[in-house]
Chains A and B, each alone.
Chain A
Amino acid sequence: MDKVIEFENISKEYSGFSIKNIDLNINKGYITGFVGANGSGKSTTIKMIMNLVKPDSGEVNIFEMNHNNDEKDIKQKIGFVYDDNIYYEGLNLRDLHKIVAPAYKNWDKKAFQHYIETFDLPLNQPIKYFSKGMRMKASLVLALSHNPELLIMDEPTAGLDPVFRKELLNILQEIMMNENKTIFFSTHITSDLEKIADYIVFIKDGEIIFNHSINSLQNEFALVKGDRSLIDRDTEDEFDYINYKGEYFEAMTQNPKVIYEVFGDEVSIDNISLEEIMYFLNGAD
């Protein structure tokens, strides 16, 4: 499978926080969701993709190119959406269009018009009067109008209502009808990812804990519940994380088959949501 983003042994030291020897591959033609707790390194990772932060060591390749040699070519192929609005608040979309368009070789006026109409955005109103959802849409319009091959978004759904989130997911899926497009975005709203993401990358304390397809996540992880008395020193090892609540235990396993062989019908083995996986992997209390 073609890789659009490749991190090889990337490290970055900050005081009190570090990215540790990250390897990361993002497949072309798919949506990859990027999850992790606050301060786990999501934004730093995204900034390294965009060359806004330089790693201390290791190599970042985007479209098999390197920022040191081909930064301009790489940026032409990327659409980038931040969580905060980076544009001058006093400007309207017509002005912003004039400023942003010349920066891209492939700027597509028709695409710009199309998105303005689809998102129902006013061209003449200053951004400062936009609602949060409208600002998000404005950023998307400006990120998509040069037909980027790779769309990167940092928390695009943060603070948005369910109606708009649904709309956004729909737009993303429309983009994915083209198999040459790739989307990589971070979010806290895991239910959004469970529907449309093909791959999930989970980061914790600056380390990539997993990079799985959504199918293997559903198959390999399970939530197990049962009577506390079933757990002893030997059976405890079969679980990744165990929570005790009164007489019961609740645990995550990455090996539901083995659990079934050991406990049979004495425990319930259920699907686990991405949110619960994150909860357990972040060190359930």
Chain B
Amino acid sequence: MRILLSNSSKEPFYNQIYEQIKSFILSDELKDGENLPSMRKLAHDLGVSVITVKRAYDELEKESFIYSIVGKGSFVSENNIALIKEKKMQAVEEQLQAVVSNSKEIGISLEELQEMLKIFYRE
């Protein structure tokens, strides 16, 4: 991760840091769960105040790009793909249950239902 700050930019330092780290995360240059440099180390390396880096990290955390563990530092959020998958799975199950109970009410057999599902799935 290499952050370059411009003195001539209109954007304040914290915003430049925020934008650059965000793009590292989105481009996967910073991997899920990866440890970010400590705020004090980054402030030192970039030659900016601690509070400026803190502001950038706070913004990133507010938008769930990173999370912090007291005493351990800040990490790139594990892209919640697992969580999203789980939630979708749950929704699919609920919808299927509704389909089954509706089908049973009007006497659609399992074979007929499977046939219908195959047709929809191919579409």
Enumerate chain A interface residues (CB-CB to B < 8 A): 29-31, 169-170, 173-174, 176-179, 195-199, 213-215, 218-219, 271
Contacts and interface: CB of A to CB of B under 8 A. Distances in A.
Contact of A215 (B10, B41, B43, B51): B51
Contacts of B43: 173, 176
A196 B51 contact: no
A169 B44 CA distance: 10
Interface string B42-61: 01100111111001000000
Nearest to A198: B51
Contacts of A197: 49
Nearest to A218: B12
B75 interface: no
Contacts of A174: 44
Contacts of B104: none
Report the 8 A-B pairs with minimum CB-CB distance, sorted nearest first: A198-B51, A173-B44, A198-B49, A177-B40, A218-B12, A215-B55, A196-B49, A213-B51
A176 B12 contact: no
B67 interface: no
A197 B50 CA distance: 8
Given A176-B44, A178-B40, 15 more contacts: A30-B51, A174-B44, A177-B41, A179-B40, A195-B48, A196-B49, A198-B50, A198-B51, A213-B51, A214-B51, A214-B52, A215-B14, A215-B51, A219-B12, A271-B12
The main secondary structure of chain B at its interface with chain A is helix
Nearest to A33: B49
A31 B47 contact: no
A8 to B, nearest CB: 24
A38 to B, nearest CB: 25
- Residues of A contacting B: mostly: mixed
16 contacts: A29-B50, A31-B49, A31-B50, A169-B47, A170-B47, A173-B43, A196-B47, A196-B48, A196-B49, A198-B50, A198-B51, A199-B51, A215-B12, A215-B14, A215-B52, A219-B12
B1 to A, nearest CB: 18
Contacts of A215: 12, 14, 51-52, 55
Contacts of A173: 43-44, 47
A260 to B, nearest CB: 15
A213 B14 CA distance: 13
Contacts of B14: 215
Interface in B42-96: 43-44, 47-52, 55
B4 to A, nearest CB: 15
B47 A214 contact: no
Taking each of B12, B14, B44, B51, which has the highest tally of chain A beta carbons within 10 Å of its own beta carbon? B51
Interface in B1-45: 10, 12, 14, 40-41, 43-44
Contacts of B44: 173-174, 176-177
A196 B50 CA distance: 8
A271 B10 contact: yes
A31 B49 CA distance: 8
A219 to B, nearest CB: 8
Nearest to A175: B44
Contacts of A213: 51
Contacts of A169: 47
B38 to A, nearest CB: 8
